[in-house]
Amino acid sequence: MDLATRYLGLQLRHPFMPGASPLTADINMVRRLEDADAAAIVLPSLFEEDIARYERTTDRYLEHLFRVKRRVAVPVIASINGTTPESWLRYARLIEQAGADAIELNFYHVATDLAEDGSAVERRVIDIVAVLKESVATPLAVKLTPFYSSLPNLAAALDRIGADGLVLFNRFYQPDIDPERREPTWQVTLSNSSELGLRLHGLAMLAGRVKASLGVTGGVHDAIDAVKAVMAGADGVQLVSELISCGPLRLHTIKQEFAEWATGHGYTSLSEMQGRVSVQSLGPAAFQRGNYVRLLQAAQKTGMLIEQ
């Protein structure tokens, strides 16, 4: 089974890699992930808020990037999250100078302004990516949330201005509420396979319809999850929660079980699987409203049979 894939212009042995997380903030864990056969390393995000709060955060991040580049043989993808066009550009240039093989632009904007419409939110993303594409030569992946009004339209716009990849999707950490203190509370929760469906839908909408590479992050926890993601169109498969729960060797296990499943089903290369279950391959009707109606009808019929 030839698992080779091309992601962000990088030729990788296979699509499996750790996504941006605290795992890749530790140089020893990075080495363990490479030993577990990670095809690339995605570093944690450099957040502008941290730079404003703590001194020398940028220097520490760049030093970590430099050390990782020296210690591993696989491509290293840095990640940044800015709040202004100036900061996005400044960090991207510094990271490019430090030798990153690619940069993941981690867009995490929470809309709270009643006067800001959806087009303004999307225009901000497009404008920032356009400026960065004009200013840095390093490949750029745009990590999106699922909450844009028309993901295909935004993806097409980003594709036209030269985005090298689109990563689906960023996870929003939703607050709970402490009713006694009357304030929001926050905690990090790991993903599970139930979150994959939203990503599969997004991948299937875009596979074969944009030139940009497609990455998936969130919801991949076993080999079958990965099979689904690749069949929907993923070029790169990022793992985080599963590696946090089970350790870095889980990446190697998922890769091996993925290859065994594919070989057992007659596939000889990753490219034969990619996008087999997508709008490009099956047509839009396979993913549109009619399926929702049929699903409700089937559920109702099942309920009637149970009652009888």
Residue given tokens 């049979």 in the structure block? 305
Rounded mean pLDDT, 13-20: 98
Tally the C-alpha atoms within 13 A of residue 195's C-alpha that lie toward its C-beta. 21
Q: Which CATH number does the domain housing residue 181 bear?
A: 3.20.20.70
Provide the domain limits for residue 214: 5-277
- Is 207 in the same domain as 301? no
Are 296 and 167 within one domain? no
Residues 261 and 298 in one domain: no
Do 68 and 14 lie in a common domain?
yes
Pull the structure tokens for residue 159.
Answer: 């594709």
Tens digits of residue pLDDT in 213-224: 999 999 999 999
Q: Are both 238 and 298 inside the same structural domain?
A: no
Same domain membership, residue 216 and residue 104: yes
Let me know whether 191 and 294 are in one domain. Answer: no
Residue 112 has pLDDT above 90, yes or no: no
- Is residue 176 located within the same domain as residue 288? no
Backbone angles phi, psi at 17, to 5 degrees: -155, 155
200-258 pLDDT, tens digit per residue, is 999 999 999 999 999 999 999 999 999 999 999 999 999 999 999 999 999 999 999 99
Q: Are residues 192 and 287 in the same domain?
A: no
Query: Same domain for 21 and 98?
Result: yes
The number of distinct structural domains making up the chain is 2
Same structural domain for residues 207 and 257? Answer: yes
Choice among 34-38, 107-111, 115-119 with the minimum mean pLDDT: 107-111
